[in-house]
Amino acid sequence: MPTQETHLATGYFDAVAQADLVHSGELRPVDLVLDAITRIERLDPLLHAVVATDFDRAVDGARRLDPDLPFAGVPILVKDLCAEVEGLPMREGSGFLRHVVSGHDQEYVARLRRAGFVVLGKTSTPEFGMSPTVEPVDGPPTVNPWDTTCTTGGSSGGSAAAVASGMVPVAHGNDAGGSIRIPASCCGLFGLKPTRGRNPLGPRYGDVFGGMVSEHVLTRSVRDSVALLDVTAGPAPGDPYFAPPHEGSWTAEAFWPPGHLRIAVSRQASDGRPVHRDCLAVLDETVDLLRSLGHTVVERELTELTPEVGSAIGRMYGAFVDWAVRYWVRETGRFPEQRELEPLTRLYWARGRDVRGGELMMAVTTVQAFAREVAAAYDGPGGFDVWLSPTLAEPPPRLGELVATEEDPSVAEERAAAFVAFPLIAANLTGRPAMSVPLGWSSDDLPVGMNFMGRFGDEGTLFRLATQLESARPWAEVWPPVSARCLDHQHPMTDPADW
């Protein structure tokens, strides 16, 4: 049985380092699992990031696990949205699904298990992932480990809080418009949205949201994100989308020099919305850093998200919520009562029910045309390897600011648009990989991330650039006040001001 000192110490390690402890014989797989359970039990009552646990099965499975597996015993949590974990609830943040229990593992989860990861439970998400904060009507909000009065961002907010606090080294997330990158920025993590089709969604789903959803993880280190993609990537039989095949290992190439990159930088938010001075300051610091590393950085706005494209996105979002409700009506055999859906969901559902099939197909046609415009502007001669902007237009807002009310649910929608004012969704519309990198701090010592979007199918360039940035400005040893490190009084938190 691990000692208290052991569980505190292993909380400092990323997934690769935890696996190395097992491969070296220093720890058993079950030691890592027991350590993580202790951290979850001590930290989650403060953060409210975990909505379902599977501790007994996790410990039993870890005792029988092959220690030679790549990630033998490394604990992981799975976001409670789209991803199925056999035997665990599948609520997707909704009271409507409170009695649903998964009867199988999603293929993505099965691949994690085959690599040796041990699933400890599921993390919180807003209802159907439709809000950039995790503040459910029927439960406590998930809070930011850096400041418990602030949001974690969403929709992978529970996973972000769990990783930032050190409960687990990595946690699953998914991204349909920034849902990995937004909480990564809010919680000081690295968050990559892979290329469309890089990771599978089946067997329950072939497509979610017109190809806009990507599965991956939130991590403290770049190498964890790289290594996870190596063990999960690849199509499953029948998948509707295929990312370009990747030869070899991302892990092997992530530490190669990225070379001389042409990087477009944008400081203009959508619709001319204001951008917080702290986010612009970190952007300026990032541009200086990139130039010092030998890259060419050019001021260039992204291909415009015109009102026509914005309207198409709105129709697709509404249709997605209508699809989600219809899907679960079919699966559960009943319609939701009004109290079982939150105000913002009901607003989107009402809009979605009015979208006709032809209108939805026209919306898809519009966003696909946008993707071709981006490709023409960025991928041709004189184009760019990467597009850079702040991930968000402001540091993490206070809890309550992004919550819809019964009286006017659209208030939260408008407030969220000001918060997520940079077009993170461009990566989802075009299928391109994108990442949020924790490269700075607000004046209130809250994390500020920078968003980098790459070429279609080219996670490798993003990984190599991220590794270079991580080496130049390391962030993984900076810990929030509510974390595994704060449990160990011998190792006080690193002060962001010391950076």
Give the residue numbers annotated as catalytic, written as ranges.
Answer: 79, 155, 179
The C-alpha atoms of residue 425 and residue 416 are separated, in whole angstroms, by 14
Q: Token pair of 460, please?
A: 């490798």
Whole-angstrom CA distances from 297 to 152, 216, 254, 288, 290 are: 30, 28, 21, 9, 7
- 377: part of which helix (H) or strand (E)? helix 357-378
The C-alpha atoms of residue 310 and residue 398 are separated, in whole angstroms, by 27
In three-state secondary structure terms, 453 is strand
* 306 in Cβ contact with 298 (< 8 Å): no
Range list of β-strands (E), 266-340: 296-299
- Single-letter amino acid, residue 482: V
* 183 in Cβ contact with 156 (< 8 Å): yes
> How many CA atoms, within 13 angstroms, populate the side-chain half-sphere of residue 120?
27
Q: Token pair of 12, please?
A: 């400092």
The C-alpha atoms of residue 474 and residue 119 are separated, in whole angstroms, by 28
Q: Which of 242, 208, 240, 214 is nearest to 229 (CA)?
A: 214
Q: Is 163 exposed, middle or buried (0-12, 13-18, 19+ CB in 10 A)?
A: buried
Distance of CA 38 to the CA centre of its chain: 24
Range list of β-strands (E), 84-243: 118-123, 143-144, 147-151, 170-175, 190-193, 214-219
DSSP string, 51-65: EEE-HHHHHHHHHT-
Give the 3-state secondary structure percentages of the chain, helix then strand then coil, rounded to 5.
40, 15, 45
Q: Is 481 exposed, middle or buried (0-12, 13-18, 19+ CB in 10 A)?
A: middle
Query: What is the CB neighbour count within 10 angstroms for residue 490?
Result: 7
* 252 in Cβ contact with 460 (< 8 Å): no
* 115 in Cβ contact with 234 (< 8 Å): no
Whole-angstrom CA distances from 225 to 222, 275, 314, 420, 426 are: 5, 29, 31, 23, 21
- 417: part of which helix (H) or strand (E)? helix 410-419
The C-alpha atoms of residue 233 and residue 457 are separated, in whole angstroms, by 12
